[in-house]
């Protein structure tokens, strides 16, 4: 909508044919990008240009382009989801960049997130952590009690919501020097720990999910707080403190 002038850019993009191949950064000049375009629309333009020239387009994960599905990733100029705060890559707009700028675009790097192709990584480790306990064991029979039969303090309900707002994108892991998944795991643990429905299985849940995260090869948390800064959904590291309390109390009593 703004009539600002378009941008000319140099992109340095990680190209890797598949999980077994070696990758490297390739240079791509790209001109006439509208500052109102999103970062991914900029990559669409790059790709359509590459296809027309008979070259192979850059593969990257994306889907909803509304900042909620958690598909998009990208390590942009050394930061997961790029320079803007509280946004995913798909909600990052080119007005965050300057004319003439060089932009480095790499995949999220972590041992537990192997590269699949170019900028796409395999984040199925997150799913497996959820399989280990990211649920409340209730049958979907429809015969549960009335939803209003257990009042939940608004403050706890709101806190549980903020924890549950995690989109599972993996930026926390990419931001962490230890590639720790603590923010991700703790957000799920916290959501249930804050709700009465989650109490019954709370101990097994935290023990099993933490164990699975270690098994997947995510590192330990050393409280640098980088994850919180880079999280596009503003998930607080207070969740990690809560998870540690839950873990400790579960370890003692189990």
Alpha-carbon 39 to chain mean position: 16
Q: How far is the CB of 211 from other proteins (least distance, A)?
A: 13
Pairwise CA distance, residues 71 & 205, whole Å: 25
Rank residues 112 and 132 by Cβ distance to other proteins and give the closer one. Answer: 132
Q: How far is the CB of 4 from other proteins (least distance, A)?
A: 9
DSSP bridge pairs for 149: none
Rank residues 131 and 220 by Cβ distance to other proteins and give the closer one. Answer: 131
Q: How far is the CB of 224 from other proteins (least distance, A)?
A: 26
- DSSP states along the chain: ---PPPEEEEEEEEE-SSTTS--EEEEEEEEEE-TTSBHHHHHHHHHHHHHHTTPPPPP-----SSS-S-----EETTEET-SSSS--GGG-BGGGS-TT-EEEEE----TTS-EEETTEE--HHHHHHHHTT-S----SSS-SPPTTSS---HHHHHHHHHHHT-----HHHHH-TT-B-HHHHHHHHHHHHTSGGGSTTHHHHHHHHHHHHHHTT-B------HHHHH-TT---THHHHHHHHHHHHHHHH-
Q: How far is the CB of 55 from other proteins (least distance, A)?
A: 8
Rank residues 69 and 229 by Cβ distance to other proteins and give the closer one. Answer: 69
Q: Which distant-in-sequence residues (6+ apart) come within 8 Å of 153 by Cβ?
A: none
Rank residues 17 and 220 by Cβ distance to other proteins and give the closer one. Answer: 17
Q: How far is the CB of 222 from other proteins (least distance, A)?
A: 27
Rank residues 17 and 222 by Cβ distance to other proteins and give the closer one. Answer: 17
Residue corresponding to tokens 């192979």: 56
Rank residues 12 and 95 by Cβ distance to other proteins and give the closer one. Answer: 95
Q: How far is the CB of 223 from other proteins (least distance, A)?
A: 26
Q: How far is the CB of 200 from other proteins (least distance, A)?
A: 11
Rank residues 55 and 223 by Cβ distance to other proteins and give the closer one. Answer: 55
């Amino acid at each position: 909508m703004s009539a600002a002038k378009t941008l000319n850019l140099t992109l340095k993009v990680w190209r890797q044919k598949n999980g077994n191949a070696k990758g490297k950064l390739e240079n791509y000049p790209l001109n006439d990008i509208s500052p109102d375009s999103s970062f991914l629309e900029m990559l669409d333009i790059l790709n359509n240009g590459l296809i027309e020239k008979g070259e192979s387009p850059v593969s990257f994960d994306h889907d909803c382009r509304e900042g909620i599905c958690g598909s998009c990733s990208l390590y942009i100029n050394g930061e997961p989801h790029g320079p803007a705060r509280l946004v995913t890559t798909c909600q990052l707009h080119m007005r965050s960049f300057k004319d003439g700028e060089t932009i480095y675009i790499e995949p999220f790097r972590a041992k537990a997130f192997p590269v699949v192709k170019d900028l796409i990584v395999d984040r199925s480790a997150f799913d497996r952590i959820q399989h280990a306990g990211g649920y409340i064991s209730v049958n979907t029979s429809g015969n549960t009690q009335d939803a209003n039969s257990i009042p939940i303090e608004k403050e706890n309900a709101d806190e549980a919501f903020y924890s549950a707002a995690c989109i599972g994108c993996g930026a926390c892991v990419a931001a962490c020097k230890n590639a720790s998944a603590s923010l991700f795991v703790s957000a799920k643990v916290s959501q249930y720990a804050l709700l009465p429905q989650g109490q019954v299985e709370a101990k097994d849940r935290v023990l099993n999910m933490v164990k699975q995260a270690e098994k997947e090869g995510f590192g330990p948390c050393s409280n640098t707080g980088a994850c919180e800064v880079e999280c596009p959904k503003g998930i607080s590291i207070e969740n990690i403190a809560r998870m540690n309390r839950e873990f400790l109390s579960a370890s003692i009593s189990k």
